Amino acid sequence: MTPAIITCPHCATSLTTSASVSAGSRFRCPCCRAAFAVPGPDAPAPFGTRPLPSAAPDETAASGNGWMVLIGVVVLAVLLLAGAGGVLAWRVLAKPESPSVAATTARPQSPPAPDKPPENSVNNDPQKNPAPRPPPEPPWLPADKQGKVNAAIKRGVDYLKKMPSPEGTWSFDHATGMAALPGLTLLECGVPPEDESIQKAARYVRKSIPNLNTTYELGLAILFLDRLGDQADEPLIRTMALRLLVGQHSSGGWTYDCPVPSGKEEQNLLAILQTTRPRSALDLMVRDGGDGFDGLLSRRDGNGPSEPIHGSMNPLPTDDDVKRARRFYGGLSPGLQSIPALAPAIDDDDMPRGDNTDNSNTQFATLGLWAAGRHGVPMERALARLAQRFQVSQEPRGDWNYNFIYHPPDGEERPPMTGAGLLGLAVGHGVTADLKADDAPARGEDPQVEKGMKALAHSIRMMKEPGYLNGKMAGLYFLWSVERVGMLYGRRALDGKEWYPWGVDLLLPAQNGDGSWYTNGYYGSTPVADTSFALLFLKRANLAKDLSTKLEFLTPVKEK
């Protein structure tokens, strides 16, 4: 596909993209961050598009360029030799009486302001005409309050650094999770990976992985080791991610425990996942049609949904790959053969109407799998089924409940689960953004996301103190959910409510003298867990920063 130049109508920056461009295509300028639609072919410059020039210009253009270069050399020589007389020569050459020279050498009488390129600029040189920068983001808090937040973070970090046992965990109840969560929090708060408290936590987590099978702890351990950034942990991250994949139910969710496949099953499963990995968003969404696993393998002929996409990270499997995948699949137990990661998409009506999965375990599995995707784990089909779970189970008022499909008779709200639902919708967009073909239509606002945002904002307005919400305990688990959603979607306000100053006003007076927080506002609340959630909120940590970049829903362009 021939690359095209697009000129941003807001800042006049010239951009190039290999995507298919037609009237109505939507883009976001990486310079001024403004969104715009491509107008029709009759639009005046600089708002139209044109193909990039050929690497070998025609003779006429070359001749014209040669004359321009010659004239420039002559003028420069006159300037250097004649001194002040050269200035006069320049003015003579640039007079209207010499239109052929004036057309190539005239300059604006007054240079444009540095933050506003020339109105009809086509190919801005970033050194001569710097692209305008977006205005700096306003501070989240006044300077005096930010100072108080920084001091509170330091006290919280000091509390956590004093707490780990000699073994490396902060609690022997859910010991691996209580090593990974505070270890992750310290890293997010700027404590270096070489710090002894973090190294002790890492050693404990690594040592526990062979027998680790609880969903919460698998998700947290992946997040911690991913954030730690040690290349030697790659196989451990993949092992834990595969356990999460085999623990997913057909509803797209998780319960408390995940099976532990044998080493051989793990290797075979990874090979099968790599062979059947979707190669486009369309491939990911193709329904079963009764073909099951064979249907996934048959989508490899280069036609229809499986046609390769530009820059695809998922190459077409060979015949040997397919034969090996079939053999490995036949050797899996029936339970492993039926996991969503090895199954085609299903219709909404075929989603189970209830099971023992819950959205709390599910959101930790979601965060863990998204992080594992950075380490080569094929998690697209699993996350697509997860997104479908939250698409079909949103309540009419915009929130989600604890179970998959559960309508409490008293209308009880579960605010942290609304955060889980918005995370689920986000990964659905993130997966298809990675797999989207170049000519796929740009996406716009998601009404389910906006509905969920309103529900989350309603819960914020009802919450009067860190552990209380409308007569029900919500706690710092909820505040962490709010931070994650706000940062993930890049929103300082949810339905008009600024969530960060609100949360800071709740957290600062609730900190204990030893630097900890403890509100006992949810099942499993402890001082270590509460302190970790409070610090993640105050740091605006955003544990899925790479997902945030995929939620703009517009075709990407790059600066030329």
**Both 387 and 438 in a single domain?**
yes
Mean pLDDT of the chain: 76
Q: What is the 3-state secondary structure (H, E, C) of 294-332?
A: HHHHHCCCCCHHHCCCCCCCCCCCCHHHHHHHHHHHHCC
**Both 440 and 534 in a single domain?**
yes
**Both 367 and 510 in a single domain?**
yes
- Coil, helix or strand at residue 340: helix
Residue 37 placed within a domain: no
- Highest average pLDDT, of 173-182, 284-293, 435-444, 461-470, comes from 173-182
Higher pLDDT, residue 40 or 260:
260
- Say whether pLDDT at 410 is over 60: no
- Say whether pLDDT at 301 is over 50: no
**Both 407 and 478 in a single domain?**
yes
DSSP 255: -
Cα–Cα distance, 293 to 339 (Å, whole number): 11
Residue 214 placed within a domain: yes
Q: How many degrees, rounded to 5, is the angle at CA 539 between CA 231 and CA 213? A: 50
- Coil, helix or strand at residue 221: helix
Residue 498 placed within a domain: yes
**Both 365 and 474 in a single domain?**
yes
- Say whether pLDDT at 304 is over 80: no
State the CATH number of the domain containing residue 511: 1.50.10.20
Is residue 48 within 8 A of residue 41, CB to CB? The reply is: yes
Name the packing angle between helices 475-488 and 527-539 (round to 10°).
30
Joined together, the tokens standing for residue 336 give 């492993």
* Average pLDDT estimate for 341-347: 88
**C-alpha 265: how far from its chain's center?**
31
Amino acid at 266: E
Q: Given this model, what pLDDT does residue 75 score?
A: 47
Cα–Cα distance, 289 to 344 (Å, whole number): 9
Of the candidates 21, 16, 57, the residue with the CA atom closest to the CA atom of residue 37: 21
Q: pLDDT-derived band of residue 461, with 50, 70 and 90 as boundaries?
A: confident
Enclosing domain of residue 214: 145-258+350-553
Is residue 378 within 8 A of residue 277, CB to CB? The reply is: yes
Joined together, the tokens standing for residue 421 give 């639902």
Strand partners, 27: 36, 555
**Both 92 and 155 in a single domain?**
no
Q: Given this model, what pLDDT does residue 475 score?
A: 79
- How many structural domains are present in the chain? 2
Strand partners, 50: 5
**Both 224 and 372 in a single domain?**
yes
Residue 273 placed within a domain: no
* Average pLDDT estimate for 483-506: 91
Strand partners, 296: none
Of the candidates 225, 275, 221, the residue with the CA atom closest to the CA atom of residue 243: 221
Cα–Cα distance, 14 to 35 (Å, whole number): 14
pTM value is 0.73
Is residue 506 within 8 A of residue 448, CB to CB? The reply is: no
φ, ψ at 58 (rounded to 5°): -75, 170
Q: Given this model, what pLDDT does residue 288 score?
A: 57
Q: Given this model, what pLDDT does residue 218 score?
A: 98
- Say whether pLDDT at 385 is over 50: yes
Last residue of a domain, one of 78, 105, 132: 105
How many other C-beta atoms are found inside a 10 Å radius of the C-beta of residue 87? Answer: 12
Residue 533 placed within a domain: yes
Instruction: Please state whether 491 falls in left (phi above 0), alpha (psi between -120 and 50) or beta.
Output: beta
Spell out where 55-182 has E strands. none
- Coil, helix or strand at residue 49: strand
**Both 208 and 91 in a single domain?**
no
* Average pLDDT estimate for 167-192: 96
φ, ψ at 67 (rounded to 5°): -60, -40
φ, ψ at 558 (rounded to 5°): -125, 155
Of the candidates 488, 513, 549, 537, the residue with the CA atom closest to the CA atom of residue 189: 537
* Average pLDDT estimate for 451-469: 78
Q: pLDDT-derived band of residue 444, with 50, 70 and 90 as boundaries?
A: low
Q: pLDDT-derived band of residue 242, with 50, 70 and 90 as boundaries?
A: very high
Q: Is 54 exposed, middle or buried (0-12, 13-18, 19+ CB in 10 A)?
A: exposed
Q: pLDDT-derived band of residue 496, with 50, 70 and 90 as boundaries?
A: confident
- Contacts of 202 by beta carbon, 8 Å cutoff, 6+ apart: 168, 183, 224, 225, 228, 230
φ, ψ at 545 (rounded to 5°): -60, -35
Residue 296 placed within a domain: no
- Highest average pLDDT, of 103-117, 127-141, 291-305, comes from 127-141
Cα–Cα distance, 101 to 426 (Å, whole number): 57
Q: Given this model, what pLDDT does residue 344 score?
A: 85
φ, ψ at 464 (rounded to 5°): -105, -20
**Both 439 and 549 in a single domain?**
yes
Residue 286 placed within a domain: no
**Both 98 and 198 in a single domain?**
no
Last residue of a domain, one of 73, 105, 137: 105
**Both 191 and 79 in a single domain?**
no
Q: pLDDT-derived band of residue 235, with 50, 70 and 90 as boundaries?
A: very high
Residue 128 placed within a domain: no
How many other C-beta atoms are found inside a 10 Å radius of the C-beta of residue 113? Answer: 8
Cα–Cα distance, 79 to 250 (Å, whole number): 78
Q: 284-322 burial, b if ≥16 CB within 10 A, otherwise e?
A: bebeeeeeebebbbebbeeeeebbebeebebeebeeebe
- Coil, helix or strand at residue 84: helix
- Highest average pLDDT, of 70-79, 181-190, 490-499, comes from 181-190
Q: Is 421 exposed, middle or buried (0-12, 13-18, 19+ CB in 10 A)?
A: buried
Task: Report the largest interatomic distance among the alpha carbons of the chain, rounded to a whole angstrom.
Answer: 93
Of the candidates 532, 554, 552, 553, the residue with the CA atom closest to the CA atom of residue 543: 532
**Both 97 and 203 in a single domain?**
no
